[in-house]
Structure 1
Amino acid sequence: MINRLKKVVSTGAIMLWVSVVSLSSVHAETLSDAMVDAYRHSGLLQQNRALLRAADEDVASTLALLRPMISWFGEVSHSNSGLRTAVTTPSSRYSNSQDVSIGLSLELLLFDNGGTRLAVEAAKETVLATRQNLVSVEQSVLLGAVQSFMAVVRDAEIVLLRQNNLRLLERELQAARDRFEVGEVTRTDVALAEAQLEGSRAALSAAQGDLIQSQEFFAAAVGRRPGTLTAPTKLPYTAKSIDDAKAVAIRSHPDLVRIQYEISAAELNVLRAKSDMGPEISLFSRLSTGQSFDSDSYANDASIGLSLGGPIYQGGRLSALSRKSMAQRDAVRASLHVARHLIRQEAGSSWATLIAAGAAILSSERQVDASRIAFEGVREEAKLGARTTLDVLTSEQDLLDAQSNLIAAQAAQVVAAYQVLSSMGLLTVDHLNLRVEQYDPEAYYNLAKDAPTVTSKQGRQLDKILKSLGKE
């Protein structure tokens, strides 16, 4: 009675779980659909796009330092003064005055040893490096979509496999009980079938738990719950050989290109630090008008001139900053060496994983075929009394393991193929030709690079872009 109750509860739980999954399935979804949605909804991409726009504005704000700086000012003052004389006859005089003035000031940098120009060029190199970092993030987002998609596909197929195995074991148990009733097998055979059935139920529960975890992984990576997923029927083209994969990776991987731009920016910053030790020349002008509250008189003032100055001794601070910039440049150069080897290693490892996954599929397919033949033979021999119940259950478990290995190998092969693309720097929306509106990193930069004012045409266009981004 207790075993029958367990069977009913377990079967009901399975049917409930299947119905929940079916309700979430609206239409068949492909791997491309998942990558498109991940690209559209990734908060990580939005974060790094904002960081790229901030880098664009660094170019504009630095360029603005080469333009005239015009400011207005207003002053209101109250003064109280006293004068006391004690030469012959001591006397004291006191006066109060209230004054107001308003005016304009202008300052223009004429010469600073090219420091500001170097800063502008360094900021441009930083923009290019940040763009490559955005490509790297894009690869990470798309690879996460692939991994989560194939995890759901794999675990869903394993759950179905476990469900079929459970139904088969239920029939095996019933057959063992029937044979026990007529004296063909012992109570031990029935117990073995019962133990195998309970183990299958536990394995099904574990598989269902794995599938739920994969669905949560999918929801985090793609931005929504998975529906009915269709496994890809072909692999993306990667490379002809491991050497080709490494060559493309060294040439086009965004992390490597990013570091090259960072080296250029660091070298410019070294020159900029040295320029800070030289003189600086600026043009200044001031125009103001003032009036006293105590009278109707007013005064106008206008001035223009040049200012020249430079450091003489600052306690060794400028020399330290110069050496610091050199050390930072050397550190970035060293990171290029490290990144080159890591990228080559990643490309080689990904390629090896892809080849191994393909070999595992061939072996698993042969294992499944052989295990199925063995299981069917053992089961027929058991009916004739030549095999025991334990032999049948063991053969059935071997077939189940082989089928599970095949499912896992097929999923691993797809993930490995996209990992090879990622290691080569080609796992991008553009290379995969995904049907999604791509983010154009140059559009914002071209509008912002000249530091337009808020009221200019470009400034209004930038304002519209920022507002549209805020509504997403």
Structure 2
Amino acid sequence: MVIDLVGLIRPVLRRSVLAALLVGAALPAMAETLGDTLVAAYRHSALLDQQRAVLRAADEDVATAMASLRPVLEWTLEHQFIESEGFESTSTTASLTASMTLFDFGRSQVTIDGTKEVVLATRYALMGVEQDILLTAVQAFMAVRAATEQVELQQNSVRVLGQELQAAQDRFDVGEITVTDVAQANAQLAASRASLSSAEGDLRVALEDYAAATGAKPQGLSAPPPLPTRPASLEAAQAIAQKNHPAILQASRMVASAELGIAAAAADRKPSISGSISGRANKDGGSQMELGLQMSQTLYSGGRLSAAHRGAMADRDETRATLLNTSRQVNQAVGIAWANIDVAAAQIRAIDEQISAAQQAYDGVREEATLGARTTLDVLDAEQSLLEARADKITAEANLQLAHYQLLSSMGLLTVKDLQLGIPTYDPSAYYNAVRDAPYTSKQGDNLDRVLRALNR
């Protein structure tokens, strides 16, 4: 499984406008931090539970392959009723047989090694799912904060425009302006109320998304922590990604497994040697012991073995191409996140200047309007320009926050361990260590029982 990182980042960017106001209004004393949100998402995710079960199934494949090197012990109890030429007789026979592959020219060992590579690949797939879960949690956190602040912004706009409408009405009452000016102020207030309703709807949607990601709606969210430190250069970030990203590591393990698949297909052409021992006893007290040694090899299979070998080579070529494509996608994702950080930072600097100028213009237009030198429409236009500039800064700040966490994800560093969240994490080796030797009963089986109980908790 290869994760499409570009496809993951694009929808996050499309919704980044929602992650607008990240710092501002006073929040409850017990507000949840971004770290709290990430911890809740990690513990709540059913998708992580699903992938962990997939990993445990892969662990059992190693146990299955390991069992092929061990003896097989079978018992049989047979009862026969025989009638011949008027005579009837019965016979009861019990038998116990043990058989074992003694030598297969490495076929079984290659299979074991291949399943181990699949286990490692599945572990990296689990890490990739963990990154997806945490990135979704970051997005949900930012979206709720943005939607909350957006509601407050629109509420303030409604209050200000209400005051503007009242001022326009007062000036109309004394004959300073016409009814057209009052209508313009009224229309702007109605538009602001519509924007407030939309913002309230966005907040409800963001709260539902947050609950889906973490298991509960937040009582309040604190400001995000300082922005993560990024590497010194884009090239350095891409080098880190090539070494750490779980999608690349997963694809590398699948290449190794495919290489072993070719060796396994070649080994199927070789002979195998097996031995067996069996004992039989009947109800009359008779007994029989047999010891056998068998060597076999497929001489002709109708082309099946050749086809399997060619298919294994094709699978190897596919995994190599997948690895190359994944590597390129990861580099692209790092480059996109890096560029978004630079763009957002530059936008914030430019918008700060825009806000300063728009504020100055708004103050001047309002003062001139009180002297009759400006119309109500001039005041409304100036206020709208200021509001749009502030909204643009909100969007740029949101993009800056998201781009930093997207960069961490694209470098393979958005994990509980790398973020140092300080909580116990799932140990993928615990179950593997309990089952890799294919335990049946005894102390190993008891250890496996304890691991399963811990996982269920």
Normalising by structure 1, we get a TM-score of: 0.89
Q: Which secondary structure does the structure 2 equivalent of 1:269 belong to?
A: helix
Q: Say whether 1:191 aligns with 2:183.
A: yes
Q: Which residue type is aligned with residue 306 of structure 2?
A: S
Distance 1:131 1:398, change over 3 A: same
User: Offset of 1:359 from its aligned partner?
Assistant: 1.4
Number of residue pairs matched?
Answer: 431
Deviations 1:196-246 (A, max 9, x none): 011001011111111111111111122211221112141012211111111
User: Offset of 1:25 from its aligned partner?
Assistant: 7.0
User: Offset of 1:468 from its aligned partner?
Assistant: 3.4
User: Offset of 1:26 from its aligned partner?
Assistant: 8.2
Q: Which runs of 5+ in 2 are unaligned?
A: 1-26
Q: Which secondary structure does the structure 2 equivalent of 1:298 belong to?
A: coil
User: Offset of 1:250 from its aligned partner?
Assistant: 1.2
2:313 is matched with 326
User: Offset of 1:464 from its aligned partner?
Assistant: 2.4
1:356 is matched with 343
Deviations 1:320-351 (A, max 9, x none): 11110110001101111111111111111110
Q: Say whether 1:65 aligns with 2:52.
A: no
Query: Which one of the candidate residues 233, 240, 247 is aligned to 1:241?
Result: 233
Deviations 1:347-377 (A, max 9, x none): 1111001111111222222222222221111
Query: Relative contact order: is structure 1 or structure 2 higher (C-alpha 8 Å, sep ≥ 6)?
Result: 2
Checking the alignment, whether the CA contact within 8 Å between 1:52 and 1:130 is kept in structure 2 is yes
Distance 1:367 1:233, change over 3 A: farther
Checking the alignment, whether the CA contact within 8 Å between 1:25 and 1:226 is kept in structure 2 is no
Moved over 3 A (4+): none
Q: For residues 337-356 of structure 1, what are the structure 2 equivalents within 5 Å?
A: 337-356=324-343
User: Offset of 1:266 from its aligned partner?
Assistant: 0.5
d(CA) in 2 for partners of 1:328, 1:456:
39
Q: Say whether 1:232 aligns with 2:224.
A: yes
2:129 is matched with 137
d(CA) in 1 for partners of 2:451, 2:153:
51
User: Offset of 1:255 from its aligned partner?
Assistant: 0.8
Checking the alignment, whether the CA contact within 8 Å between 1:157 and 1:407 is kept in structure 2 is no
1:28 is matched with 31
2:451 is matched with 465
2:205 is matched with 213
2:286 is matched with 299
d(CA) in 1 for partners of 2:384, 2:442:
74
1:426 is matched with 413
Q: Which secondary structure does the structure 1 equivalent of 2:68 belong to?
A: helix
Q: Which secondary structure does the structure 2 equivalent of 1:192 belong to?
A: helix
Deviations 1:57-89 (A, max 9, x none): 1111100110111122212222223xxxxxxxx
d(CA) in 2 for partners of 1:97, 1:369:
109
1:121 is matched with 113
User: Offset of 1:400 from its aligned partner?
Assistant: 1.3
Single out whichever of 72-81 and 340-349 deviates more from structure 2.
Answer: 72-81
d(CA) in 1 for partners of 2:208, 2:350:
31
Q: For residues 34-433 of structure 1, what are the structure 2 equivalents within 5 Å?
A: 34-81=37-84, 93-291=85-283, 297-433=284-420
d(CA) in 1 for partners of 2:139, 2:70:
51
Checking the alignment, whether the CA contact within 8 Å between 2:40 and 2:215 is kept in structure 1 is yes
d(CA) in 2 for partners of 1:121, 1:334:
22
Q: Which residue type is aligned with residue 35 of structure 2?
A: S
Checking the alignment, whether the CA contact within 8 Å between 1:26 and 1:227 is kept in structure 2 is no
d(CA) in 2 for partners of 1:424, 1:113:
42
d(CA) in 1 for partners of 2:358, 2:393:
12
d(CA) in 2 for partners of 1:387, 1:456:
91
Q: Which secondary structure does the structure 2 equivalent of 1:436 belong to?
A: coil
Q: Which secondary structure does the structure 2 equivalent of 1:28 belong to?
A: coil
Q: Which secondary structure does the structure 1 equivalent of 2:255 belong to?
A: helix
d(CA) in 2 for partners of 1:134, 1:186:
68
Structure possessing the higher radius of gyration over alpha carbons = 1
Distance 1:452 1:185, change over 3 A: same
Deviations 1:80-127 (A, max 9, x none): 23xxxxxxxxxxx33222222222110110111211100000011111
